[in-house]
Structure 1
Amino acid sequence: MSNSRRAVLGVADQAVSSATNYLTAFVASLVLVPEAFGAFVVAYAVVTVLAAATRAVLSEPLIAHLPGVASADRRRLLASSALGAATVFGLGGTVVVVVLGLLGGPLLSSLLVFAPWIVGAFVVDAGRYVLLSRLRTGATLAVDGAWALAQGVGLGVVAVTGVWTTGSLAAAWGVGALAGLVVLVVVGVERPGRPGAWLHEGRYLSGWFTVVSILGQVQMYAVLLLAGAIVSTTDMAGLRAVQLFVLQPPTTFMAAVLVLATPMFARFAVTPDGGLPAGFHALRHRATIAMALLGLLILTAIPLRDVLMGLLFPRYVDYTPLVAPTALMVAVLGLSVPSAAALRGMRRGRLLCGIQVFTSVAIVVGALAGLLVDGVLGLSWGMAAAAVLVTVVQYAAVARARPHPAEEVPALATPLDVPAPTASPEDEPSEVAASEVAASEVAGRPVR
């Protein structure tokens, strides 16, 4: 499969995955009474946080580590182990959900309706990342497409019966997860094995990636909390409306590029002279061009801001001046995505974490300084200035960084009944990566 086709399928998969998550909350907002919807939002937020934590510990390190492992047998062993770890995390998440649901009072009681579906959802998510580590974006799209289709059918059945409850919405979401699990088996992913091997081998990345994920999610909420403490609720609503207009749509594409490019970068090893191969630089160049084109598209919102804000958010047309700095911030941060993917692919967890700490501090400080000078408009410009600084720092870091070898350590346990899926080109190292392994072995440098 060509890289361009993989990219298209990867973006389509990210769009389907994001749409599935959005659909659940959107339908709930339409059909539930406000009190029930509020409880559903809290319960769904807890499930989302648990899933994000599992993804940061297991799945995100997976796509950085597996492509750098030379042995196909070991890649399959680690994939099976990671799926086993996801099963354990799913069981743990189920326990957390049940305990909170039973002891958390009326507000958290809605968590109980998600309990039967947690394990399946977590295993499917981990399986997606196994496929992505092999650049099998078509198979990943099939898994997410099955989830979306089954969830849509489930919602249709509920609509026909007219029984809209938090339980029926959670059941539609869970049935989608089970459909995704079935397709995951069909496309050829290993059975879950004993989790020790992956937890032991992936630990050098999991801690750093977890911190990066947490900080990345917290920084925007920190900005909103700062703004809420100083400006009026109306200004807060206007700021959020502009962010929904300019910031939310591009993040789907950015997330797709980050997830898709990471395993592609991870396949490149250091050349015998200690440098990076031409293919690495070419990949980064192509990713940067793609993000620059996205940035230009985002910037078209500036001249069209009055028309689009009037059409989409007519209550907040007075806040159209915020569109320019917000669009600039998103366009500039998009240029940092190839650098972030390169650092992930190079398995530089400590460096990536340090940059994320700097990013979060820069964004919050820039927002606070601008907020004190000129309210929400100043906040938006402060964040745009911070985005420029962050992107420059990331580019400088990647220019000096070199890949960290994939740390292969003896497995703590052998997975049970690990099948060998049908071999596919995506599951083997690329020709470039294979040649670099051979060259490194000749030069006496072990590449793992």
Structure 2
Amino acid sequence: MAMRGARWVGAGLADQVVMATANAANTLLPIGLLASRTRAGALVLSVGLGYLVLSVNRAFIGDTMLAQVSRLDGEERARLVRHALAAAVAVGCVAGAILIAVWALWRHPSGTIDLQDLIWVAPFLPVILLHDTGRYTYLSEREPAQALIIDLVWTGSQALIIVLMVTTGSTSPGLLLASWGLGACAGAATFLARSGARPWRGDPRRWLAETRKLSGWFTATTLVGQIQVQAVGFLVAGRMSGAELAVLRSGQTALLQPVQNFVTAMMGLLVPRSSRLAGSRNERGLRRQTLRLAAAFAGLAVVMIAVVVPLANVLQPHLGRYAAIVPLALPINLQAGIYLLQIPFTAAIRGMQRARLLFAQYLIFTITSLTGLVLGASQGHLQGAAWGLTIGAAAGLVAMISIYTWAAARLVPASASTPLSTEVSGV
């Protein structure tokens, strides 16, 4: 069992590495491959809106599958999976139509906010969401190795297309985005062939009816978080140039996004154990786990900052176009360290099923982060914006710890006869 658990964790972390690398490449490649940094910044805005749709779909369907579908077996499970896949395609179609409308009304090649590349994102959204829901189907079955396979097909196909573009000298913003969608087509086709799933037999309305209580709060929380992410680009559009925005986004992608993906992976490992501790009303055990992990992640954050910031300065002369990111290394790494420290408290809140409190924390974090962003960009442009986001993250951490403390204090202690050891023995 220990070896099987180790393989399960290893495959899950490997899959997260693959997805993190692909996500980073979709933002960093335009900076390196396109001659105009301003043009790259415009493409990054369109990529960001595509990821907004993907994140909402993951909350509405993916996270709900992990929490609800994973408890089902047999035909009942297969039925709900069909509904989930059908819902993903429906969400992709609706979102694609909306983005096409936005593209038609807001394509300003000479403007500060340029969304001319949305036309390359919108048509692929249904298949992108289908692939991602297939990935969560495997994860809900505790088969991350299968998710890793279809993700490798996606990223491998996309990488091959990009290599062909570069070697033939035909690189363009549209083709870079099309490679993302075509890779998703390959991954989704592989999932359908291997699983035998038939999305057209599902009913999106049944998915909504059967999961609305759980998916509602997940989606609301993700929307708040994604509003914060997207607003970083749009709120500073009048205070920073397109080139500065591209540098800020690239710095976040290179230095912050890997940590965010690590946070996602750790949530998958820690939330189940936190949930068992909370379900058994083992308030002492939950506190002990949370505080020990907080100390460990605080140490990891210190090491990360101590290594990455000096290393960035040493490598600056060799980074070419990416050298402009180096002055942002300290504030962005501090923000990443805050996210690491927040992991055990977030896992505990999720384990205690305090979804409304989690939503409230995201509201506080978003308001403080965007306020710091605008004020920082107005006063210090690029570095001011980065420091403003870091201050907002610190306020979010304080809110998370406060919410956790309040919720943990209200766990009713289990009776002396409750066999707690059987409830919390596994991870």
Return the offset for 1:138. 1.3
> What letter corresponds to residue 64 of structure 2 in structure 1?
P
Question: Is 1:205 the counterpart of 2:214 in the alignment?
Answer: yes
| Cα RMSD, aligned residues only | 4.4
TM-aligned CA deviation for residue 202 of structure 1: 1.8
CA contact (8 A) 1:94 1:118 kept: yes
Partner of 2:112: none
Post-superposition CA distance 1:273-315 (Å, at most 9, x none): xx24999789768865763453243232356564355665655
Letter of the 2:90 partner, please give it: V
C-alpha distance in 1 between matches for 2:379 and 2:102: 43
Residue identity opposite 1:17 in structure 2: M
Distance 1:60 1:395 in 2: 21
Corresponding residue for 1:444?
Answer: none
1:162-214: per-residue Cα shift (whole Å, max 9, x none)?
A: 33334433332222112211332355374321122321122113332223223
Aligned to 2:415: none
Give the alignment's TM-score, normalised by structure 2: 0.74
Residue 80 of structure 2 is matched in structure 1 by 78
Q: Is the 8 A contact 2:59 2:215 kept in 1?
A: yes
Pick from 30, 41, 46 the counterpart of residue 44 of structure 2.
Answer: 41
Aligned match for 1:343, one of 341, 349, 354: 349
1:418-437 counterparts in 2 under 5 A?
Answer: none
Q: Distance in 2 between matches of 1:88 and 1:160?
A: 37
In the alignment, which residue of structure 2 is the partner of 1:215? Answer: 224
Note the C-alpha offset of 1:123: 0.7
Alignment correspondent of 2:94: 92
Partner of 1:142: 149
2:360 is matched with 354
Q: Which moved more, 1:337-346 or 1:142-151?
A: 337-346
CA separation in 1, counterparts of 2:355 and 2:266?
A: 19
Report deviation, 1:121.
0.7
* Alignment check: 8 A CA contact 2:364 2:396 kept: no
- Structure 1 unmatched ranges of 5 or more: 404-431, 437-448
**Larger deviation, residues 55-64 vs 148-157:** 55-64
Kept in 2, the 8 Å contact 1:212–1:353? The answer is yes
Corresponding residue SS for 1:202: helix
Distance 1:46 1:331, change over 3 A: closer
**Larger displacement relative to structure 2 (339-348 or 370-379):** 370-379
Change in 2 beyond 3 A, CA 1:238/1:30: closer
Residue 165 of structure 1 corresponds to which residue in structure 2?
A: 172
Larger mean CA deviation between 361-370 and 326-335 belongs to: 361-370
Q: How does 1:280-319 map to 2 (within 5 A)?
A: 291-292=297-298, 294-301=300-307, 306-307=313-314, 312=319, 314=323, 319=327
1:66 is aligned to 2:75: no
CA distance in 2, matches of 1:190, 1:281: 42
RCO higher in structure (CA 8 A, sep ≥6): 1
* Unaligned segments of structure 2, at least 5 residues: 110-114, 413-418
1:395 corresponds, among 393, 404, 407, to 404
For normalisation by structure 1, the TM-score amounts to: 0.71
Q: Which residue identity is paired with 2:339?
A: L
Aligned residues: 400
Distance change >3 Å, CA 218–CA 282, structure 1 → 2: same
The Cα shift of 1:125 comes to 0.9
Contact 1:6 1:136 in 2 (8 A): yes
Find 1:332's aligned residue among 322, 329, 338.
Answer: 338
Alignment match, 2:416: none
Aligned residues: percent identity? 28
CA contact (8 A) 2:338 2:394 kept: no
Matched residue, 2:135: 128
Aligned residue identity for 1:349:
A
